């Protein structure tokens, strides 16, 4: 796919890929389980999804989950669940939307969510599609630099600590994220150019750039990036990811 001129073009392509993944999953397995990303980048893609002609996406067989969330009530402005409801789920009729924050502590919420993930995914434990962003510090989901969460090898969902807005988080871990049938990274903006170069070209250092633990080891990764985020990439890298 091209390196996109801007977030609008990137989001339209991401929405098309979301629709294709959904139709493929429902055709093959009768349902589509997707992990949404938080932050602001996905908003435009969600708008593209809700604007698609009726029948483009099998919403009635679609189960929305989250790759991570801030440990705040789902009604809080900072909640990824709230953002997903406002920009997507409130506009379509999905089979289910599973919020992550449903207990008194991040760890207890993570335990509940892991049980739900196992129920939804069955023994293969493979999300059909995972949408991920990346922070200017190189984090993805809520796997933050300098935190042990990126090194989790057994648990599928854990409580984590962020080094930015809202410290307490709940996040899917590399074992679960990397087993996704497809991962789309949506990365736009000049503030992502430095970490994106570390992820795609840099020495391996998960503590510095946790996104490497997903981008370099997951089953199937597609990068949807804009020119601003790609500014520091070598011609070889641009060719490799296009």
- Residue 223 backbone dihedrals phi, psi, to 5 degrees: -95, 125
How would you classify the pairing of strands 183-187 and 221-225? Answer: parallel
Tell me the closest approach of the beta carbon of residue 20 to ligand 6PG, in angstroms.
22
What phi, psi does 150 have (nearest 5°)? -70, -20
Comparison of 38 and 58: residue with beta carbon closer to ligand 6PG: 38
Size of the site for ligand 6PG (CB under 6 A): 15
- Nearer to ligand 6PG by Cβ, of 41 and 149: the residue is 41
Whole-number Cα distances in Å, 223 to 1, 40, 116: 8, 17, 28
SS3 187: strand
- In the complex with ligand 6PG, the residue whose CB is nearer, 69 or 128, is 69
CB 50, min distance to ligand 6PG, A: 18
For ligand 6PG, give the closer residue by CB, 58 or 162. 162
DSSP sequence for 75-92: TSTT-HHHHHHHHTGGGS
C-alpha–C-alpha distance, residues 50 and 75, integer Å: 21
51's tokens: 């604007």
**Distance from C-alpha of 173 to C-alpha of 88, rounded to nearest angstrom:** 24
> Residue 152 has which token pair?
């989790």
CB-nearer residue toward ligand 6PG: 142 or 178:
142
In the region spanning residues 131 to 170, those forming contacts with ligand 6PG, defined by CB under 6 A, are 133-135, 139-142
Residues 225, 95: Cα–Cα separation, whole Å: 30
| Residues 23-52 contacting ligand 6PG, CB under 6 A | 37-41
**CA 82 – CA 88 distance, rounded (Å):** 10
Q: How far is the CB of 189 from ligand 6PG (least distance, A)?
A: 7
Q: C-beta of 133: minimal distance to ligand 6PG in Å?
A: 3
- Name the minimum Å distance from CB 28 to ligand 6PG: 27
The least distance separating ligand 6PG from the CB of residue 41, rounded to whole angstroms, comes to 3
Phi, psi angles (nearest 5°) of residue 67: -70, -30
Which 72-91 residues touch ligand 6PG, going by CB under 6 A?
Answer: 80
- Pick the binder of ligand 6PG from 68, 98, 128, 152 (CB under 6 A): 68
- Between residues 58 and 169, which has the closer beta carbon with respect to ligand 6PG? 169
**Residue 106 in contact with ligand 6PG, rule: CB under 6 A:** no
Q: Please give the residue ranges that form the binding site for ligand 6PG (CB under 6 A).
A: 37-41, 68, 70, 80, 133-135, 139-142
């Amino acid at each position: 796919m091209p390196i996109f001129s801007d977030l609008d073009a990137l989001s339209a392509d991401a929405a098309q890929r979301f629709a294709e993944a959904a139709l493929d999953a429902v055709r093959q397995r009768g349902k589509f389980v997707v992990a949404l990303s938080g932050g602001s980048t996905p908003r435009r893609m969600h708008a593209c999804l809700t604007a698609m002609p009726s029948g483009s996406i099998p919403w009635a067989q679609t189960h929305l989950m989250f790759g991570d969330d801030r440990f705040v009530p789902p009604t809080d402005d900072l909640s990824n669940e709230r953002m997903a409801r406002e920009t997507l789920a409130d506009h379509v009729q999905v089979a289910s939307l599973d919020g992550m924050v449903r207990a008194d502590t991040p760890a207890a919420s993570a335990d509940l969510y892991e049980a739900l993930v196992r129920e939804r995914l069955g023994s293969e434990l493979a999300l059909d599609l995972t949408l991920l962003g990346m922070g200017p510090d190189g984090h993805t989901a809520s796997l933050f630099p300098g935190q042990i969460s990126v090194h989790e090898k057994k648990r599928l969902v854990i409580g984590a600590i962020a080094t930015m807005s809202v410290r307490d988080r709940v996040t899917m871990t590399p074992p679960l994220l990397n087993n996704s049938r497809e991962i789309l990274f949506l990365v736009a903006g000049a503030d992502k150019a430095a970490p994106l170069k570390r992820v795609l070209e840099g020495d391996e250092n998960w503590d510095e750039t946790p996104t490497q633990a997903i981008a370099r080891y997951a089953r199937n990764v597609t990068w949807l990036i804009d020119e601003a985020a790609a500014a520091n990439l070598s011609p070889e890298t641009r060719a490799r990811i296009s």
